């Protein structure tokens, strides 16, 4: 059996957003803290990784949200390593609300093991795999090959692009943009895209409309660094009665290299009732040229 690591975090007021819920980005930060704690618990803390001249880099992340956390809640997090391949490892997460054990989040992260000096992938040591998954037989049963990240549908004419320069606050101890901050960039571009279509938050509030994240599937390609300018492009796809996918593509402005991309699903929620609602006709009309393909 893999080592299942459990931690509990309180929700702080500054982690909550416009809706009074824990912001979607902060769940990624909870996951990061839980993973650091889990690694240290089996002997692989930051000091040990520095001695190994190694670091983990997130390649792909999937997260699904169920019940929102609010200020005053506490969240229980269980995390474990699901598999090891030559240079990659997948870690799983389950979050529940401490007060009633209601599901909050399920997620998985595919990590790549890198040499700090070269930035290139290197083989995961057998003794490290044994520390996280002590059962040799389970380690031998490697997971299926990773599926290729789904290709984004072609950009519609009305795709929105936001320029964002990497700032000091975006950088972590690995000296590149922290993985959670890419989602913050995406969130910011979605807000700006809506405002550009004359749907700022105050108008949505007046219609009792909330657009809330249901799932994110993010692929990280490159590591953006301090001072680099990024182009964050976003558009919609597969608009249904009360859900829609939003595509995000983050490119480095200097050479148009793809840094990160996401296919994310959002829900249209009636804020007064807290239930799903149909996207209003005028909302669909105003976003029509930024929707890839046909409305479902």
How many Cα atoms are found within 13 Å in the side-chain-facing hemisphere of 101? 0
What is the model's pTM? 0.93
CA atoms of 103 and 285, how far apart (whole Å)? 35
User: DSSP letter string over 112-150?
Assistant: EEEETTT--B-PPPHHHHHHH---HHHHHSPPPPPPPPP
Q: Which domains does the chain have, with CATH numbers?
A: 1-147 (3.10.129.10), 148-296 (3.10.129.10)
- 166 contacts 30 by C-beta, under 8 angstroms: no
Distance of CA 173 to the CA centre of its chain: 19
Per-residue pLDDT 10s for the chain (296 aa) are: 678 999 999 999 999 998 899 999 999 999 999 999 999 999 999 999 999 999 999 999 999 999 999 999 999 999 999 988 899 999 999 999 999 999 999 999 999 999 999 999 999 999 999 999 887 545 445 555 678 899 999 999 999 999 999 999 999 988 999 999 999 999 999 999 999 999 999 999 999 999 999 999 999 999 999 999 999 999 999 999 999 999 999 999 999 999 999 999 999 999 999 899 999 999 999 999 999 976 66
Helix axes 24-41, 179-196, angle to 10 degrees: 180
CA atoms of 101 and 18, how far apart (whole Å)? 25
């Amino acid at each position: 059996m893999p080592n299942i690591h459990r931690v509990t975090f309180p929700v702080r007021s500054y982690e909550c957003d416009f809706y009074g819920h824990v912001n979607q980005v902060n769940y990624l930060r909870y996951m990061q803290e839980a993973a650091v704690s889990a690694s240290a618990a089996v002997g692989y803390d930051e000091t040990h990784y520095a001695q190994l001249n190694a670091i983990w880099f997130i390649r792909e992340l999937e997260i699904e949200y169920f019940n929102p956390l609010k200020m005053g809640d506490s969240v229980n997090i269980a995390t474990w390593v699901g598999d090891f391949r030559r240079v990659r490892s997948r870690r799983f997460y389950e979050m529940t609300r401490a007060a009633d054990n209601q599901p909050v989040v399920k997620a998985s992260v595919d990590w790549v093991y890198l040499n700090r000096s070269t930035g290139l992938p290197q083989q995961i040591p057998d003794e490290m795999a044994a520390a996280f998954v002590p059962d040799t037989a389970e380690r031998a049963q490697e997971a299926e090959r990773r599926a290729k990240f789904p290709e984004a549908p072609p950009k519609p004419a009305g795709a929105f692009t936001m320029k964002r320069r990497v700032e000091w606050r975006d950088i972590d101890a690995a000296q590149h943009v922290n993985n959670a901050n890419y989602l913050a960039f995406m969130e910011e571009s979605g807000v700006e895209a809506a405002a550009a279509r004359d749907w700022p938050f105050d108008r949505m509030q007046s219609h009792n409309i909330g657009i809330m994240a249901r799932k994110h599937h993010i692929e990280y390609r490159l590591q953006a660094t301090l001072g680099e300018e990024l182009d964050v492009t976003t558009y919609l796809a597969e608009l249904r009665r009360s859900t829609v996918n939003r595509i995000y593509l983050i490119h480095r402005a200097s050479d148009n290299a793809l840094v990160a991309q996401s296919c994310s699903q959002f829900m249209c929620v009636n804020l007064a009732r807290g239930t799903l609602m149909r996207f209003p006709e005028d909302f669909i009309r105003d976003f029509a040229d930024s929707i890839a393909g046909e409305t479902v």
